[in-house]
Structure 1
Amino acid sequence: MEIYQLRTFLAVARLGHLTRAAEQLHLTQPAVSKQIKALEQEVGVLLFERQPTGMVLTSEGRALFPLAERTLFDAMELLNHARVLRGEVAGDVVIGTVIDPDTLRLGSFLGALLAYFPKVQARLQHGISGWVLERVRAGDIDGGFYIGQVLDPDVSSFSMRTLQYVVVAPPEWSERMQQADWAAVAAMPWIGTPAHSSQHRLVRTMFAERGLSVTPVIEADQEASMVSLVRTGVGLATMRQDLAIEAQLRGEVFIWPDTVQDCPLSFIFKNTRRDDVLVAACRKALAEVWPSEGHSV
């Protein structure tokens, strides 16, 4: 039984589709099918049922899934330990990113990573915080940047800094906003964000704490788009304070006074990967870039 066969089995099981698994593994679909067939022949049971909607685990496949996860983890631990014994850390590390590179100090982080570990190849995948958390939990990426409180008991974090968010409105609403209370602001039109985004959670939480909720009139997933929508009078939004101040100086938004909301920025990884050499390499590089702010929890 080969490591790559186990990795392929787990990818197909999680994604439920050969094509999507092939894309994630950077293989062709026939290669994925061949590996699954070879694994089924070796273990002597059918692992998947081929259905029009995709690949569904058989009862035998469901029973073997957690064992495959554990076996792959143990095999990777063995290989990683062997690398340490040889005095080298090498391999591909897949990192999820969010927001803009400057806020993450992404360039400095990658520079430190490659300086300490020149045989490590970093690959970046960009998304929103909820997407990063899902991919970390599924084992599809090694770690990633995350905005918000990390509440998942299976996920650890390396704290980097605290971001501040404020409520912004169209500039022509300034007089109206200065007189508004939380209930009035909740009743105004809002620009929503994707359900798994940090801003969605932030808005939902800060209004829920006051027994209120908002109703978005449109959804946007990038801060540049949100600035444009606020500027043209579509509605309110939350925005990072540094970006909001710049936008207000340009006359594009009005910041609702006294509404700063703190939101932690961290690097997250699965608890079971804490001692993985590639995750440890990322943590060492992060500690170099965030020497006073960063710490693991």
Structure 2
Amino acid sequence: MELYQLRTFVAVAQQGHLTQAAELLHLSQPAVTAQIKALEEELGVALFERYPGGVQLTEAAKDILPEAERILALSRGMQHKAKALSGEPKGKVKIGTIGVPARLKLGPWLACLRSRYPLLTVQTTHGISGGILNEVRKKTLDGGFYLGRNPYQNVNNLPLTEIGFCVALPPQLAPQLAGDDWDSLAKVPWLGLSQFNSLSSITQELWRAQNVAPRKFGEFDEEATLLELVKAGLGVAILAERTAKRFAADGSIVLWRGGDCVTSAPLQFVYSAERENDPLVTMLRDTLLEVWQPSE
């Protein structure tokens, strides 16, 4: 059966007259009669009884009418929804992520974005801060998360929060640091970092501020890797405060000075400066602030 047949059936039922229903539907009476007959043949039941003043529903039609009205209502609802969506922003947005998704509030943010703009498709690319920043500069990403201070004028920042860092020690190295000073800390091996990892610049700034130059072991690019290597006893590293304290609680690492934060860095959302007024970037910024501001 077709929707137009159901629409004609409902119109005739409401008007109680073929001619009046035809006028309402802008059809000829023979066309209305033909549609009702076709529907009756498909359903296998008579829908109307004719009498001199018009038509009335059969008992079978009285049972069918509510279903026909419901189907037409669903059809109208779908049309209204489609019209509303036709003006919605659409397309794919590419976002660079770093570190732990929970730290970025990635789930709540993307849920908010999905709720506000249902036709947007999101693609995430996980990397390290320097790599994400470069991809944003090259405009291969619409935006991304970056930990640290952005050195580029052609990339704009949306500050989200400040991340504190603790010095994480292997348990077996902790006894060597009884002096509890930076000179003592500089005598134990530190885990080296890739130049693209924002922790590298944060660590270098910290060493310069404390006037120390520790011996480095290896070169690594992920916080999760640093954590595993600290636990394995290979060296010292700075870790985000929440991560450091979570693993210190089970004794797998030890925090220098009881977990005092030795430095901090801003967590930011970065995007091309040329896209400051881009509607898509505005959507990303607005929903990020909606998720971050209430608790920050």
**Alignment TM-score, normalising by the size of structure 2:** 0.67
Aligned position for 1:281: 283
Deviations 1:131-181 (A, max 9, x none): 111011111111000101123111111111111111111112223223142
Query: Are the equivalent residues in 2 in contact too, given 1:231–1:252 (CA < 8 A)?
Result: yes
Deviations 1:99-122 (A, max 9, x none): 011111101111111111111111
Q: CA 1:219–1:162 in structure 2 vs 1: closer, same or farther (change >3 Å)? A: same
Aligned position for 1:238: 238
* TM superposition shift of 1:265: 0.5
Task: Give me the whole-angstrom Cα distance separating, in 2, the residues matched to 1:92 and 1:171.
Answer: 47
Matched AA of 1:108:
P
Are 1:125 and 2:125 counterparts? yes
Contiguous gaps of at least 5 residues in structure 1: 1-85
| Greater alpha carbon shift after TM alignment, 181-190 vs 110-119 | 181-190
Query: Which runs of 4 or more aligned residues in structure 1 lie more than 6 Å from their structure 2 counterparts after TM superposition?
Result: none
Aligned position for 1:27: none
* TM superposition shift of 1:292: 4.0
Q: Secondary structure at the match of 1:209?
A: helix
**Count of residues in correspondence between the two structures:** 209
* TM superposition shift of 1:223: 2.6
Query: Are the equivalent residues in 1 in contact too, given 2:128–2:222 (CA < 8 A)?
Result: no
Aligned position for 1:227: 227
Are 1:105 and 2:105 counterparts? yes
Query: Are the equivalent residues in 2 in contact too, given 1:144–1:268 (CA < 8 A)?
Result: yes
Query: Are the equivalent residues in 1 in contact too, given 2:164–2:261 (CA < 8 A)?
Result: no
Query: Are the equivalent residues in 1 in contact too, given 2:158–2:285 (CA < 8 A)?
Result: yes
Query: Are the equivalent residues in 2 in contact too, given 1:161–1:293 (CA < 8 A)?
Result: no
Query: Are the equivalent residues in 1 in contact too, given 2:194–2:221 (CA < 8 A)?
Result: yes
| Greater alpha carbon shift after TM alignment, 275-284 vs 213-222 | 213-222
Contiguous gaps of at least 5 residues in structure 2: 1-85
Provide the identity percentage. Answer: 31
Are 1:177 and 2:177 counterparts? yes
Aligned position for 2:90: 90
Aligned position for 1:189: 189
Kindly report which structure 2 residues correspond to 1:7-86, keeping only aligned pairs within 5 A, or say none: none
Q: Secondary structure at the match of 2:293?
A: coil
Aligned position for 1:266: 268
Q: Secondary structure at the match of 2:150?
A: coil
Deviations 1:47-93 (A, max 9, x none): xxxxxxxxxxxxxxxxxxxxxxxxxxxxxxxxxxxxxxx84311111
Task: Give me the whole-angstrom Cα distance separating, in 2, the residues matched to 1:293 and 1:152.
Answer: 29
Task: Give me the whole-angstrom Cα distance separating, in 2, the residues matched to 1:226 and 1:287.
Answer: 30
* TM superposition shift of 1:259: 4.4
Matched AA of 1:158:
L
Deviations 1:30-59 (A, max 9, x none): xxxxxxxxxxxxxxxxxxxxxxxxxxxxxx
* TM superposition shift of 1:288: 1.4
Matched AA of 2:267:
L
Q: Which has the larger radius of gyration?
A: 2
Q: CA 1:274–1:293 in structure 2 vs 1: closer, same or farther (change >3 Å)? A: farther
Deviations 1:242-290 (A, max 9, x none): 1111211111111111443111111001111111111111111101111
Query: Are the equivalent residues in 2 in contact too, given 1:168–1:237 (CA < 8 A)?
Result: yes
CA RMSD of aligned residues (A): 1.7
